[in-house]
Amino acid sequence: MDGTLVTELDPGTAREVFDQACREELGISGQDFLKAYHDAALPKDWSAEAVCRLEMLLPLVT
């Protein structure tokens, strides 16, 4: 074993993790981020780096 720890998340916990990340990065809910993302309506004042970090978490909720 190389010391790697893998934690599986149930769907509810995954949504909570995503929601918390959205609140920390942009101050909005995960649901609000997903709506803006899917509508291709990301505000210009959102940090591109924050959006990229949240995009990496999309597999948790899609």
Segment 11-38, tens digit of pLDDT: 999 999 999 999 999 999 999 999 999 9
As a whole-number percent, the residues of the chain with pLDDT over 70 amount to 98
Please report, for the chain, the start and end positions of each structural domain, with discontinuous segments joined by +: 11-57
As a whole-number percent, the residues of the chain with pLDDT over 90 amount to 85
The Cα–Cα gap between 36 and 55 comes to 12
DSSP string, 3-45: S-------HHHHHHHHHHHHHHHHSS-HHHHHHHHHTT---TT
The residue among 23 and 4 whose pLDDT is bigger is 23
Q: Please report which confidence band the pLDDT of residue 2 belongs to, taking 50, 70 and 90 as the band edges.
A: confident
